[in-house]
Structure 1
């Protein structure tokens, strides 16, 4: 499994509109091959900042399958105009998992 992580800094005052658009965009990503799950969390200290975490079966499911798909263009048109600056996206692999 691969974890995609993006810190999303929004333009001031668009959080409600962004969250509504993200609900629509979520339907797009959920349907993509290799998709496992995703979370969107809002920062407590900076109310215009979110973190997006998407779990994919393999890196190419995101970098090729999703990013080169027509569905990505829909995702992009729904969300990309909210960001300032445009987010950096990184991918992580599990090293250790611990639970209580």
Structure 2
């Protein structure tokens, strides 16, 4: 499984709107993508305009090709993109170690 981490910075004062938009986009677009395995969204405390979106994908290609090169990506960006203060920084990670559940 691959972890996508998106560091998102939104325009000041739009947190409530973005909170609703990102949850809508995750529920209606991303959660239906091939290879989607789950997500978490964290809001910044010290930096209230900063969000960390983590999405688990079955394979790297499920995100980089299957989702990003599909019409669904444009739908996702239409929902969340208007709030961005700058383009998100996105990276992918493999699991090295974890605590016991």
TM-score (norm. length: structure 2): 0.94
- The CA distance in 1 between the partners of 2:17 and 2:79, in whole Å, is 10
Residue 2, structure 1, aligned to residue 9, structure 2: no
Corresponding pairs, count: 100
Deviations 1:51-99 (A, max 9, x none): 0000000000000000011111110111112111211100000011122
Gaps of 5+ in 1: none
| 3-state DSSP of counterpart to 2:23 | helix
Matched, 1:90 2:91: yes
Task: Find the aligned partners of 2:35 and 2:70 in 1 and give their Cα distance.
Answer: 13
* Partner Cα distance (2:68, 2:17) in 1: 23
Give the Cα–Cα distance (whole angstroms) in 2 for the partners of residues 70 and 6 of structure 1: 20
1:43 aligns with 2:78: no
Q: For the residues of structure 2 that align with 1:46 and 1:88, how far apart are their CA atoms?
A: 16
Where does residue 13 of structure 2 map in the other structure? 13
State how far apart, in whole Å, the 2-side matches of 1:79 and 1:70 are. 15
SS in 2 for 1:79: helix
For the aligned residues, what is the CA RMSD?
Answer: 1.0
Local SS of the residue matching 1:60: helix
Q: CA deviation at 1:12?
A: 0.5
**Corresponding residue for 1:99?**
100
Matches of 1:34 and 1:49 in 2, distance apart? Answer: 26
1:25 alignment counterpart: 25
